[in-house]
Amino acid sequence: MTELLLVGNPNSGKTTLFNSLTRSNEHVGNWHGVTVDTKAKSFFANGEEHILVDTPGIYSLCPLSFEEEVAVKTIFSSERKIINICDQNNLQRNLYLTLCLLEKGCDVVVAVNEIDRKPIYKVDYKKLSEQLGVPVVGINAEKKIGLDNLKKALKMPRKTQKLPYFRQLDANLLNKTNLNKDFYNLIKLYEQDEKYFFNSGRKETKTLFENVPKDSAQILAKLRFDFIESVLNECTKRTDKVYGQSKLDKLILNKWLYFPIFLSVMAGIFYLTFFSLGAFLSGILESLLGLFTNTVLGALEGAIGKGWFYELINTAVFGGVGTVLSFLPQVVLLFFFLSVLEDSGYLSRIAFIFEDILGKIGLSGKSVYTLLMGFGCSTTAIMTARNMDDKNAKIKTAVLCPYMSCSAKIPIYTVIGGAFFGASNILVIMGLYFLGVVVALAISKLLDVTVLKSKKQSFILEFPPYRMTSPKRVGKILWKNVKEFLIRVGSVMIAMNIIIWVLSSFSFSFSYVADSHGSMLETIGKFITPIFVPLGFGNWAIVASLVAGLVAKEVVVSSIAMFNGIDAGANKLISSSILLSSSLVFFKSKASVLAFLVFCLLYTPCVASISMLLQEIGKKWTIISIVLQLVTAYVVALIVYNVAFAFEIFGFIKCFSVLMTVMAFLVAVVFIAKKIKHKKLCGNCQNCSNKRCHKK
């Protein structure tokens, strides 16, 4: 069994090729940082089993970020054969990495990924192979075209030949010094980390580098690009097409239209996900679940009767879990639309649009990818935060991920919000998503000006052409997320619901209690409840559901359903009449409902996200993040409750007028403060730099 490395630029189809060869389903996307660590899986080629190691995308052997450092260390750690994948439309840039690998003496097979039907370059692979001195194969990683030829190329023996421009390098540099034949290797090391070699303390290294011309790295880079240009002129025919260019960008990237277009796209996604199509599919699934559970419960009742075990299955398992499971179509739809945004090329445009905005609060365009992934799952989003160049930016990005409203919160918004706001709930849901983003940006700015000041970060961005998403790839993504959701429902949620049911059905003396009165959970909940009274939901069962939500946010809804005795046979899972009645879980008003939804949006993430935070940013910042989220959730929910309650009591017009007056007053104060700060006072008018000084 031999190991092979898969190496290439970001967005060259590297992970797609990995999936095609190994029959995997790793996440792919057209941005930097999708792969943030190595992944390994076996596949068969030429009657032999190989281990293929997928590495993060790199542009050269000089790492600029964490994931690039992972890839470079992997390449330098062994002499494994390398499959270097290049994008046919970006050969000029991709071949730069190829030359770096060949210069190092790596055993390379070049796979040119033909993505588009009308590519920029038409390649003569035979000539290109002769020029580079290594096997070159044309493939289509997504459609699995040319993979047999690639596998055959892996059998070809290693060739060792000196690239032609080495002679020019010798003429330009070697003759200027009296160094030995390892001079080129020294230049490579110098190119990768100049400061390390000058400060390493090794006398022989310092002596050698004293004779290295300061512009040696630049000369080497120019020689590479000159050679690449000559190779492309010899081996390719270029069309008039420009990679990534589209007339649609004149509209999408218009400085006046980009934000309204972005809001319209997100609003359309939310409408289809939470209402319209999503509600229709959820209704169908709810009916099917009802048929299944009624059949099972009928058989169970005939076998054991309606005892405590029957109530456990009816309420905790079928009632609680069924409440969440019926919203599976909406979770799937959200992931579907996010994957379409990824594949279409629009996501890269979003990163470009928000680069300047995020730069002002200590982040970069790379953060857009991570934060948008937070809408799907905070756990995976936190992991991608490691692609930040700056350590402080990495910590901030990871800390901000849980503020994004993940898919696990969809049942909370849909069930609780829908029970009270009906068709207007779409505005509530959009407001919650928007609030999460605003709070995250405010927290980032606060951290940036206090304890986590970020340095200016490099951000390399390419615009892929607009593409139609692959149905096969989307199907794999959806199945993966459905499987994860079902596993979570079938394990964590059922286990948690059973624990909650036991705690709410038995006292500390382990005697069975009716309606949870005197139960262990009621005793614990009432101890914590006074803290939440100012937020409008000082109800022990609500507080208990929030505590249970630390395991998984979906458990909040299943717990509420279980507390209120909503069993598998209920016609409507949760309605406003139930939540306003004398049930265990009830809300006093719509203001308290809004405060509850805001608290669910912003408070501590699930256990899986916390464990990922520990792994990525350490114990100290994880604790700070948890405390910060709890405080933020409490303060924002308190403000929302009081403002919404005021609207309910005094009416819209009066409250709106007061709010506008307060905002106008605050704007005036800020404006005057800036004027006073920047006003230039002088002691001597002759030397005054204020052109408007009235004494002049």
Residues 221-241: tens digit of each pLDDT: 777 888 888 888 888 887 655
pLDDT band per the 50, 70, 90 thresholds, residue 272: confident
**Does the structure show a pLDDT above 60 at 29?**
no
Q: What is the pLDDT of residues 563-582, one digit of tens each?
A: 776 654 444 444 444 555 55
- What rounded mean pLDDT belongs to the chain? 77
Which pLDDT does position 114 carry in this prediction?
A: 80
Tell me the C-alpha distance between 84 and 71, whole Å: 13
Tell me which residue of 632, 625, 627 sits closest to 396, measured CA to CA. 625
What share of the chain has pLDDT > 70, as a percent?
78
Q: Which of 21-25, 97-101, 462-466, 589-593 has the least mean pLDDT? A: 462-466
pLDDT value for 559: 78
Considering the domain delimited by 2-153, tell me its CATH architecture. 3-Layer(aba) Sandwich (3.40)
Scanning the structure block, which residue is given the tokens 């499987």?
A: 483
Does residue 586 have a pLDDT over 80?
no
Angle between helix axes 590-602 and 425-449 (nearest 10 degrees) is: 50
User: In this predicted structure, what is the pLDDT of residue 217?
Assistant: 67
pLDDT digits (tens, 9 = 90+) for 627-638: 999 999 999 999
Secondary structure element (H or E) that encloses residue 606, with its range: none
Three-state DSSP class for 3?
Answer: strand
Phi, psi of 247 (to 5 degrees): -65, -25
Domain ranges of the chain: 2-153, 165-238, 258-649, 652-696
- Residue 564: is it exposed, middle or buried by C-beta count within 10 angstroms (0-12/13-18/19+)? buried
Whether pLDDT at 641 is above 90: yes
Kindly tell me if the per-residue pLDDT of 124 is higher than 60.
yes
Q: Could you read off the pLDDT of 276-305 as tens digits, one per residue?
A: 888 888 888 878 887 888 788 888 888 887
pLDDT digits (tens, 9 = 90+) for 453-489: 877 766 666 677 777 777 877 787 788 777 877 777 6
Task: Determine the distance from the C-alpha atom of residue 561 to the mean position of all C-alpha atoms in its chain, rounded to a whole number.
Answer: 31
Which of 175, 202, 197 lies closest to 186 in space, CA to CA?
A: 197
Do 596 and 416 meet the contact criterion of CB atoms below 8 Å apart? Answer: yes
Lowest-confidence region among 158-162, 176-180, 261-265: 176-180
Position 25 confidence tier, pLDDT thresholds 50, 70, 90: low
First to last CA, the chain: 86
Q: Left if phi > 0, otherwise alpha if psi is -120 to 50, otherwise beta: which for 272?
A: alpha
DSSP 200: S
- Please tell me the total number of residues recorded for the chain in this structure: 696
Is the pLDDT at 163 greater than 90? The verdict is no
With left for phi above 0 and alpha for psi between -120 and 50, is residue 33 left, alpha or beta?
A: left
Q: State the residue for tokens 């080497």.
A: 220
Q: Report the relative pairing of strands 81-87 and 121-123 from DSSP bridges.
A: unpaired
Q: CA-CA distance, 227 to 244, in Å (whole number)?
A: 24
The neighbouring-strand residues paired with 82 are: 5, 108
Q: Determine the pLDDT at residue 30.
A: 43
Q: How far apart are CA 495 and CA 548, in angstroms?
A: 11
The answer to whether residue 41 scores a pLDDT higher than 80 is: yes
pLDDT band, residue 202 (cuts 50/70/90):
very low
The 3 state secondary structure assigned to 447-508 is HHHCCCCCCCCCCCCCCCCCCCCCHHHHHHHHHHHHHHHHHHHHHHHHHHHHHHHHHHHECC
Round to whole Å and give the CA distance between 357 and 686: 41
Highest mean pLDDT among 287-296, 302-311, 539-548, 614-623: 614-623
Q: CA 140, CA 372: separation in Å to the nearest integer?
A: 28
Position 608 scores a pLDDT of: 81
Binning pLDDT at 50, 70 and 90, where does residue 252 land?
confident
Which amino acid type is present at position 645?
F
pLDDT range class, residue 594, cuts 50, 70, 90: very high
Residue 310 has pLDDT above 70, yes or no: yes
Q: How far apart are CA 214 and CA 235, in angstroms?
A: 34
Q: Of 95-109, 183-197, 478-492, give the lowest mean pLDDT range.
A: 183-197
pLDDT at 443: 92
Top-ranked range on mean pLDDT: pick from 94-98, 241-245, 258-262, 473-477:
94-98
Lowest-confidence region among 200-204, 359-363, 423-427, 659-663: 200-204
- C-alpha triplet 658, 664, 669: angle, nearest 5°: 125
Residue 33 pLDDT greater than 50, yes or no: no
Q: Which element (helix H / strand E) includes 494?
A: helix 494-505
- pLDDT band with cut points at 50, 70 and 90 for residue 678: low
- pLDDT value at 207 more than 80: no
What's this model's pTM, rounded to 2 decimal places?
A: 0.70
User: What is the 8-class DSSP label of residue 409?
Assistant: G
Which range has the top average pLDDT, 162-166, 606-610, 670-674? 606-610
Tokens of 334: 């959200």
Q: How confident is the model at residue 544 (pLDDT cuts 50, 70, 90)?
A: confident
C-alpha distances out from residue 605 to 27, 379, 546, 549, 629, Å? 23, 9, 11, 8, 9
Q: Please state, in angstroms and rounded to a whole number, the distance separating the CA atoms of residues 43 and 22.
A: 5
Q: Indicate if the pLDDT at residue 528 is higher than 90.
A: no
pLDDT at residue 172, as a whole number: 52
What's the pLDDT at 215?
Answer: 63
Residue 562 has pLDDT above 50, yes or no: yes
- Structure confidence at residue 696 as a pLDDT band (50, 70, 90): very low
Q: For 83-87, 138-142, 271-275, which range has the lowest pLDDT when averaged over its residues?
A: 271-275
Query: Can you tell me the mean pLDDT for 166-176?
Result: 52
Residue 389 DSSP label: S
